[in-house]
Structures are given as C-alpha cells and as structure tokens.
Structure 1
Amino acid sequence: MKMYRIGYRTIKTAVGTAVAIALAQGLGLPNATSAGILAILCIKPSQKKTVVSSLHRFVACLLGILFSFVFFEGLGYSPVVIGLLLLFFIPITVMLRVEEGIITSSVIILHMYLGGNFTWLNIWQEVQLISVGIGMALLMNVYSPKNETSLKEIQQKLEAQYSQIFIEIAAFFRDGRMDWNGEEITLAAECIRKGKELSLRNAETYTFKNRDHYYHYFTMRDKQFDILERILPTVSRMTVTVRQGDMIADFLTQLSVSVHPGNTAHVHLERLEKLKESLKRTPLPVNREEFEVRALLYYFITEMERYLDIKKEFKALKDISKSKSKRNDAREL
C-alpha cells in the first residue's frame, strides 16, 4: 500500500480555511463558512496563480453584488430572477475574463437572494466575507517553497551527461572506438524534461520577480540536445579515422570540461573557426571514402557551431532577464 504524504499546499489550505472561518465568525459575519470556501478556491500552487485567482474572484464577487442589486431590487426576489440574472452575469464575467470567479460570486448572489432585501449592512458584510476569504488565501501563499536546490542538482547532472557525451564522441574521432552504450543520451533527455517542468513551476512561484532563468537554461539545453541527436548518427557513419579527426577530438575534449552555465561559447567558436581554416589547408582526399569522411567532418563542425550559437543566445537572454529582475527588485524596494 502506497503511503499518503501530506503536501505543503494541503497544509496551507487546511490552516487557511480554518482561520478564515474563525475570523469571519469572530467578526460576526453571517454565512462565515463562505470565507473558508473562498480560501480553498484561491489557494493555488504558486504565488502568481493565487494573486491572479484572487483578483478574478474579487472582481466577480463585486460584480455579483452589483447584478444582485439591479435584478433583485428591480425585478423581485424569485428563482426566475436568479436564472435571468445568471443568464446575463455569466457572459459578462467571461467577457471580462474573470470567469474563474463565477462559482464564488454565485454564492454571494445567493446570499443576497436569501437576505430578501438590500441594505448597506448586507453589502458591507459580504465585502468583509470576500476580503477575509481571499485575504487569508493570499496570506497563506506569502511563502511558497522554492525548487532552487533541486534545479541546481538537475542542472549539474545534465551538464555531466553532456560532458561525457563529448568525451565519447572525442574517443571515436581519435581512434574509432565506439563501445559506448549511449546511456547519457537517455539520462540527458530525462534531466531536460524534469528541469523544464520544475523550472516552470519555480518561475510561477514568484509573484512579481523575474525568476525564469532556469526555464530558459533548460530550453537552451533542449535545443542543443536536438543537435546532439542529429550529429551522433553522422559520427557513427564515419568508417575511417583521418588526421582531422584528432583535431576535432582535441576540440571536443576541451569542450567537455567547459559544459557549465557560464559564457565560454565565444571562445569555442573561435577555436572552431581556426579548425575550419586548418581543414581547408589540409591536402584533398585521395579516395571516395576519405572524401565522405571529410564531408561528414564539415557537417559536424557546422552543427557544433549551431550548438555554440544557441549558448550565446542564451547568455544574451540571461543578461536581459537579470536586468528585468533588478528593475523589479528596485520597484519592490
């Protein structure tokens, strides 16, 4: 039997709901349990989603009070009027893009219906009820656990796989040895999948700060992974080793120790350019087999240039992201 584990969001929901109801009862508000319902509905997995959900529900609830006044006071308190009200109310919330608040605002509408008349006291009590429920949800999500440590571990594991892939390809270029089982390819793909999924959740955790650099990082590695998957079949088609293969093997060995988030792409691009020039100065192939290998080598170099260009683009994007983050932090201060 699988053991059930109580998650952090479950604890926040339980505590937030209980406190919201207790606070509403302490204020002497009727229908105090509705504050708990609002808290349950507004507590989301991340700060950003909670703020958006709370805003939508608050606007929809205020809109529900306004519609209740117009329809109930204008047409009377009857089930038919409730149906007529919803017939207009729901399309308006959809048009305003606050349809997430339809359920909670419907509860408020029914409160006004059961009250049988409109008074400023009733309106004030409903606004208090809404504020308590939504406010408690926001308070519960002031702190949300971050995934920075896990993301760092996945990042380091992924870089280790990339480094080993380059070492294995270098070994093939150097002496034609290909006894590699390709395990690192599978592990790298899994790291990218987990990294993108976790980094997306991590970015959503922050309400205002720009903390999506991990997602950009794993997206960058995903694009590079596509290139690695393309070049591996090309490498395996090389049936002979040539002197140029040693040069590329040396380059890959250097690259294998430089797989990290830092910006060294420009250094390796310069090395590739020198490598291309060196290949141009070597004697022409003497037979068809060497010609095919030389063509595959040029293809390999071209793909590696794309691989490094992707890293350069990521570094530029990272700098922009840092700049936005600093501006947001300055606003908060």
Structure 2
Amino acid sequence: MKKFKIGYRTIKTAVGASIALFLAAYFDLHFFSSAAILTILCVQTTKKKSVHAVYTRVVASIIGMIFAFIALESFGYYPIVLGLMLLVFIPTIVSLRVSDGFVSSVVIMMHIYNEGNFTVDLLWNELSLMAIGFGTGLAVNMYMGDYQKQLDHYINQIEELYRSIFSEIVKYLRNGDTSWDGKEIIEAVNLLNKAKSLAFKDVENHLARKENQYYLYFDMREKQLEIIERVLPKITTLPVMVQQAELVADFMEELSINVHSGNTAKKFRDKLDIVKQEFAKMPLPENHEKFLAMASLYQFIEEMDEYLEIKQSFKGIKKKKAITN
C-alpha cells in the first residue's frame, strides 16, 4: 500500500475549490458548484502549466459558448444537435491547440443546454463562473514550494558519488583493487534524473525564466557522467601496471578531493597538461602489454580533459553560503 500523503497540490486544490464555491454562491450564480470544478481543472504542478491551463480553458470555453449559441439557438435544444455540435467543436479546439480545455468547455456548454435558452443573464452567469473558477485556480497555484534546499541536497549527493568513483579509480591504479561493484554509477544516473526533473519544475515555476543554474549544473554533470562511463572500461582493464599509472592516480586523487559546484576546471586542465608532459618524458614501453596499458592511460587523460572542459564551460552555482573545495 502506498504511503498516505497530503502534498501542496492537494491542499491547494481543496482550498481553491472551497474559495471558488464560496464566491460563486455568495454572488448567487446559477450552477455555482461548477466554479469549484473549473478551479480543480486549473491547479497544476507548476506555475507555467497553470497559466497554460487557464489559457486553454478560457479559449475553449468561449469557443464552446459560441458553438452552443449558434447550434442550439438555430436548430433547437436537442441531444442530436448537441452531439453533432461536438463533432465539429472537438476538431476545432484540437486544431487551435486548446484541447486541454475540453472538459471545462463542456461544463459551460451543458449549462446552456440545460437552460434551454441562451440569454444575456446566462452569458454573464457563465462568464462569472469562469472568472471565479479559473481566477481562483490561477491564484492558489501562484504559491509553489521552494526547491532550493532539495536541489542543493542533490548537488551534495552527486558530488559525493563522483568523489567515490574517482577514489575507486585511484585504488585500482595504485593497488590493482578490483573489488568495486560500480554501484555509484547507477546511483548517480538515478539521482541525476531526479535532480533534473526537479530543476526543470523549478524553471517552470518562474514565469519569466526559461532555464536556471541548477538545471544547467545537473545537465553538465550528466554529460560528465557519460564520459566517466565511457572511460571506466579503459582504465579498469589494464593488462599490466606501468609507471604512468601512479602519475594518473595522483591526479585523480587530487581531482576527487576538489569535486564541487564552483569552477576550478581551468586549474586542473593545466595540471593535466603537466601530466601529459610527464608522460612524454617517460621511457617507451618495453613490450606489447605495457604499450596497451600506456595507450589506455593516455586515452583516459584525454577523456578527463574533455570532462574538465565541460565543467569549465559552466559558470558555477552561486549559493547562499560560500562555495568551498
């Protein structure tokens, strides 16, 4: 059985429906309970989705009233007329890309059908229901929880996983330790998916902003993880251990200590250039196995240069607290 939980959206739906119902009844509107239905249909997971929901429902409802007026007043208030009208109405709102407003528009159209007479009073009644229902739904959905604390927590978790992965690489290069099961890779993939989803939701809750630094950060880490997954087989299947392995291990150890959300990639790319220069100074391989090992290590540091280049293009995250290494 799934854990019982009352979230923000549930609370906003209940509060919004109650307010809309109260206002519609207070103004003595006919079909006043429909205001609550219209509000419920507009409560969405993000502010942008809520604004879009109100837009589609307003447009679809107005088109629905026009269709109802023309069809029912011209051919009579009969079920067959209503059915034929829907055959034309549905493709119309689909073509206008406001099909999400179908249910709310049908609510309005059924009011007109039940009344059996389209009057000015009925028109104002329906417009008032729409104003109260959609307006209340939009108003309650303007409050969204602050995701920054959770996003910062995801950052800390991801960076800790990257440190663990690099530490395991160091262990292998120094000691030939092959006991690592790679679970941190799977955890990082799952965590990045959750983090990007939450960061995108945060973007959707800022009406004038299309992206944010958190989403860009998680996207950057995802690209880096793709490189890590690609190079791990090269570094963990060395046929023999060569002198260069210790050089790479020293670099990876220092890098693992300095995984953070700031941007010091330029410094580490400079250090990697030094590693490459040291590689060039070392003696040539004595046999085929050592040649393969050195080639794999060199490919690895080239891939790590790309890893750092991706980070260098990221401006960093400005947190409330000072960033530390």
If the length of structure 2 is used for normalisation, what is the TM-score? Answer: 0.91
| 2:34 match | 34
* Letter of the structure 1 residue corresponding to residue 281 of structure 2: R
1:266-281 to 2 correspondences below 5 Å: 266-281=266-281
| 2:306 match | 306
| 1:127 match | 127
C-alpha distance in 2 between matches for 1:253 and 1:289: 25
Q: Secondary structure at the match of 1:54?
A: helix
C-alpha distance in 2 between matches for 1:302 and 1:210: 34
Query: What do the CA deviations read for 1:204-250 (whole angstroms, capped 9, x no partner)?
Result: 23333345432222222122112212222222212433222222122
Contact 1:46 1:204 in 2 (8 A): yes
| 1:46 match | 46
Matched, 1:21 2:5: no
Once the two structures are TM-superposed, the CA of residue 298 in structure 1 deviates from its matched residue by: 1.2
Once the two structures are TM-superposed, the CA of residue 45 in structure 1 deviates from its matched residue by: 1.4
C-alpha distance in 2 between matches for 1:6 and 1:77: 43
| 2:85 match | 85
| 2:158 match | 158
| 2:62 match | 62
Contact 1:146 1:205 in 2 (8 A): no
Once the two structures are TM-superposed, the CA of residue 262 in structure 1 deviates from its matched residue by: 1.5
If the length of structure 1 is used for normalisation, what is the TM-score? Answer: 0.89
Once the two structures are TM-superposed, the CA of residue 53 in structure 1 deviates from its matched residue by: 0.6
Any gaps of 5 or more consecutive residues in structure 2?
A: 319-325
| 1:136 match | 136
Query: What do the CA deviations read for 1:19-42 (whole angstroms, capped 9, x no partner)?
Result: 101100111110001101101111
Contact 2:266 2:312 in 1 (8 A): yes
Contact 2:158 2:191 in 1 (8 A): yes
* Letter of the structure 2 residue corresponding to residue 18 of structure 1: S
Contact 2:239 2:290 in 1 (8 A): no
| 1:216 match | 216
Any gaps of 5 or more consecutive residues in structure 1?
A: 320-333
| 2:246 match | 246
Matched, 1:182 2:182: yes
C-alpha distance in 1 between matches for 2:84 and 2:180: 71
C-alpha distance in 2 between matches for 1:150 and 1:188: 16
Aligned-residue CA RMSD (Å) = 2.1
Of Structure 1 and Structure 2, the greater helix share is in: 1
C-alpha distance in 2 between matches for 1:13 and 1:184: 39
* Letter of the structure 2 residue corresponding to residue 243 of structure 1: Q
Q: Secondary structure at the match of 1:283?
A: coil
* Letter of the structure 1 residue corresponding to residue 236 of structure 2: S
**Between 193-202 and 159-168, the greater mean CA deviation after superposition:** 193-202
| 1:258 match | 258
* Letter of the structure 1 residue corresponding to residue 240 of structure 2: V
Q: Secondary structure at the match of 1:315?
A: coil
Contact 1:203 1:212 in 2 (8 A): yes
Contact 1:12 1:140 in 2 (8 A): yes
Once the two structures are TM-superposed, the CA of residue 312 in structure 1 deviates from its matched residue by: 2.8
C-alpha distance in 2 between matches for 1:13 and 1:211: 27
C-alpha distance in 2 between matches for 1:113 and 1:183: 61
Once the two structures are TM-superposed, the CA of residue 51 in structure 1 deviates from its matched residue by: 0.9
C-alpha distance in 2 between matches for 1:40 and 1:2: 23
* Letter of the structure 2 residue corresponding to residue 297 of structure 1: L
**Between 184-193 and 82-91, the greater mean CA deviation after superposition:** 184-193
Contact 1:20 1:136 in 2 (8 A): yes
Matched, 1:231 2:231: yes
C-alpha distance in 2 between matches for 1:36 and 1:79: 26
C-alpha distance in 1 between matches for 2:275 and 2:223: 24
Matched, 1:97 2:93: no
Instruction: Give me the identity figure in percent.
Output: 42
Q: Secondary structure at the match of 1:174?
A: helix
Contact 1:235 1:296 in 2 (8 A): yes
Query: What do the CA deviations read for 1:283-310 (whole angstroms, capped 9, x no partner)?
Result: 2111112111111111111211221222
Query: What do the CA deviations read for 1:101-121 (whole angstroms, capped 9, x no partner)?
Result: 111111111111222222222
* Letter of the structure 2 residue corresponding to residue 97 of structure 1: R
